[in-house]
Amino acid sequence: MTEAHAMDGTGLIELRSSTMTAHLRLQGGAMLSLWWGAGENGVPLLRPSLPDGTAPIDTAGFPLVPFGNRLGSNRFSCGGKTYALEPNSDLDPLYIHGDGWLERWSLQDQGTSGATLAYRHRGTNGPYRYLAEQRFSLDDERLSLRLAVTNEGDDTLPFGLGWHPYFVLADDTTLQFSASSVRPEGAGSLPGPAVIPAGAFDFGKARRFPAARLNNGYSGWDGTALIRYPRHALELEVSADPVFAHAFLYAPFGEANAGFFCFEPMSHMADDHNRDGFGDLRLLEPGQRLEGSIRLAPRSRRPD
């Protein structure tokens, strides 16, 4: 695995098309911004963040690999073995979001409108050994992100993929998506029992955010979500390959108080390690690969 050089030697990368500009960072494999229009004079599609010294949770988005969200009890069993993982951040007593968001990635290639980042995990915390890759591509219509993970360990293990973007949240922002079930936040911020989306959990029709914390996992997502920003006469379509059949919705303070919300496409539900058959996590044998694409497509929209 060879490494190219970031455009300015700092680990910061800029991508451009005629309609969008994106900034990436090798630390955490994170996005720092995505603008629609004339660079930073345009409309932010993701929450802009500072280039240096920014914690992962303060960026515009980061990858979830080799799985997303929390691992209940910090342990799981597979193939007759029990594996334990230590908490990996000061944010939570549970191991959360995998490894890639906390480590430096390497730049494999870069052009004006695309870049490939890679991260090879050989840590001592738990059984996972893998190669993760992100391919970012901008064109005039969309940002495309191709995520992949390859099991490079000796054991067959449950893997997952996801992406944790921070979308801009204003008081007139609306969100619309369809899912067959939702698991509202339970004890330890782990998902509770699955229910049919209703009330504050139902975004089947476009609606503003309720004045309440949201931290809920959705299953049976149909792969499309629509975010509308009326003040900018703009809508943003989030779409994903079928492998991303789940989505996590996080809005920590309700309404627009935090200035952001997270709609996270995921291949599995949080803590699927501890569900029968590992839920929708994929058992990858050594050398096997899991991959899929996520797309963000902005477009102008006439006012209602």
The tens place of each residue's pLDDT in the chain, 304 residues long, gives 444 445 555 689 999 999 999 999 999 999 999 999 866 678 999 999 877 768 999 999 999 999 999 999 999 999 999 999 999 999 899 999 999 999 999 999 999 999 999 999 998 899 999 999 999 999 999 999 999 999 999 999 999 999 999 999 988 999 999 999 999 999 989 999 999 999 989 999 999 998 888 999 999 999 999 999 999 999 999 999 999 999 999 998 755 567 899 999 999 999 999 999 999 999 999 999 999 999 999 999 866 6
CA pair distance 303, 211, nearest whole angstrom: 24
Contact 284, 278 (CB under 8 A): no
Q: For the chain, how many residues are written?
A: 304
Beta-bridge partners for 236: 227, 298
Q: How many CB atoms lie within 10 A of CB 233?
A: 13
Q: What is the pLDDT at residue 259? A: 87
Pairing of strands 207-208, 174-177: antiparallel
DSSP 105-142: -EEEEE-SSEEEEEEEE--SSSS--EEEEEEEEE-SS-
For residue 17, the 8-state DSSP code is -
Taking the C-alpha atoms of residue 98 and residue 281, their distance in angstroms, rounded to an integer, is 13
- Cβ neighbours for 121, distance < 8 A, ≥ 6 positions apart: 66, 99, 100, 103, 128, 129, 130, 131, 132
Written as six digits, the tokens of 127 are 């059984």
Residue type, 139: D
- As a whole number of angstroms, the distance between CA 175 and CA 156 comes to 38
Cis peptide before 242, with omega less than 30 degrees from 0?
Answer: no
**pTM for this prediction:** 0.94
Cα–Cα distances (Å) from 193 to 147, 173, 196, 198, 266, in that order, read: 29, 28, 10, 14, 18
